[in-house]
């Protein structure tokens, strides 16, 4: 038996869709051809940031369209890109300090610690907490806590202080990766091997293969046990 359809509103227009669909699939069911605001469809890329309201609830809610199931009388609007401030900088010219964070993103100090950013995060990241650590200059902690950020912009979209939390976080991850993280010796060794030309001949061989030969080589490769 087919599902009984429910009413939802996409960009203000009413549609009848099956209740088991995600917002993204419901939009496609309604006839939308998604050429932007869609990426991995698995909740990892952050491209399908969406705002919505449900029947009888005054609150504006946020979610990823590929991970959220539709509800009756849901009002939906997508924000695949949020125009948050993204400061220009050259990583090689920076130092991993609190002063660097404030110089590049002075709005960091406007944080109200209200927690709206944390409530908005589809990855369940404690954004408020890593922002508190950023205000203490703990770059390593910010990098660690924000590691799963998918840059969807929903925290910034809801922030009453109009901060760009996810851009501050990625600055911390870059500073940590370049200046603070322990160096991986095996990576340095591999880079040296590449620069010495160790893999030039194997790469030439691979580039000479046909598509069918490449597929066969791929399927016959050694795979580490799970």
Predicted confidence (pLDDT) per residue in 34-66, tens digit = 888 888 999 889 999 999 999 999 999 999 999
Predicted confidence (pLDDT) per residue in 195-209, tens digit = 999 999 999 999 999
Please tell me the predicted confidence (pLDDT) of residue 1: 44
Q: Helices (DSSP H) in the chain: which residue ranges?
A: 23-29, 98-104, 116-120, 127-135, 139-145, 154-158, 165-175, 185-195, 200-208, 211-219
Please tell me the predicted confidence (pLDDT) of residue 222: 87
CATH of 91-180 given 1.10.1060.10, 3.40.109.10, 2.130.10.10, 1.10.3720.10? 1.10.1060.10
Please tell me the predicted confidence (pLDDT) of residue 93: 97
Task: Name the band, by pLDDT with cuts 50, 70 and 90, for residue 153.
Answer: very high
Please tell me the predicted confidence (pLDDT) of residue 16: 97
Predicted confidence (pLDDT) per residue in 77-122, tens digit = 988 788 899 999 999 999 999 999 999 999 999 999 999 999 999 9
Neighbouring residues of 76: CB distance < 8 A, sequence distance ≥ 6? 8, 9, 10, 11, 23, 27, 50, 51, 52, 65, 70
Task: Name the band, by pLDDT with cuts 50, 70 and 90, for residue 226.
Answer: low
pTM confidence score: 0.78
Residue 225 has pLDDT above 90, yes or no: no
Residue 210 has pLDDT above 50, yes or no: yes
CATH superfamily of 6-78: Beta-grasp domain (3.10.20.30)
**Average pLDDT, integer, range 171-177:** 98
Give the Cα-Cα-Cα angle 136, 108, 88 (nearest 5 degrees): 115
Percent of the residues in the chain that have a pLDDT greater than 90, as a whole number: 84
Residue 136 has pLDDT above 90, yes or no: yes
Q: Where are the domains of the chain?
A: 6-78, 91-180, 185-219
Task: Name the band, by pLDDT with cuts 50, 70 and 90, for residue 2.
Answer: low
Please tell me the predicted confidence (pLDDT) of residue 81: 80
The residue that leads in pLDDT, 23 or 3, is: 23
The per-residue pLDDT of the chain, averaged, comes to 93
CA 41 to chain centre: 12
β partners of residue 9: 14, 75
């Amino acid at each position: 038996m087919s599902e009984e359809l429910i009413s939802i509103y996409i960009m203000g227009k009413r549609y009848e869709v099956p209740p088991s669909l995600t917002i993204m699939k419901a939009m496609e069911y309604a006839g939308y051809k998604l050429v932007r605001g869609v990426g991995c469809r698995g909740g990892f890329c952050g491209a399908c940031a969406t705002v919505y309201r449900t029947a009888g609830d005054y609150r504006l809610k946020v979610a990823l369209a590929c991970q959220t199931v539709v509800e009756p009388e849901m009002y939906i609007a997508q924000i695949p890109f949020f125009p948050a401030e993204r400061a220009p900088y050259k990583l090689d010219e920076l130092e991993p300090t609190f002063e660097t964070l404030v110089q590049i993103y002075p709005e960091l100090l406007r944080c109200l610690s209200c927690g709206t950013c944390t409530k908005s995060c589809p990855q369940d990241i404690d954004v408020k907490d890593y922002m508190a650590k950023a205000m203490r200059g703990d770059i390593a902690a910010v990098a660690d806590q924000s590691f799963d950020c998918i840059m969807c912009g929903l925290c910034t979209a809801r922030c009453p202080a109009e901060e760009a939390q996810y851009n501050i976080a990625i600055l911390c991850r870059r500073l940590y990766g370049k200046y603070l993280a322990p160096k991986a010796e095996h990576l340095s060794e591999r880079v040296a091997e590449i620069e010495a030309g160790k893999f030039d001949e194997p790469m030439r061989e691979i580039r000479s293969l046909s598509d069918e030969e490449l597929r066969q080589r791929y399927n016959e490769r050694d795979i580490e046990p799970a």
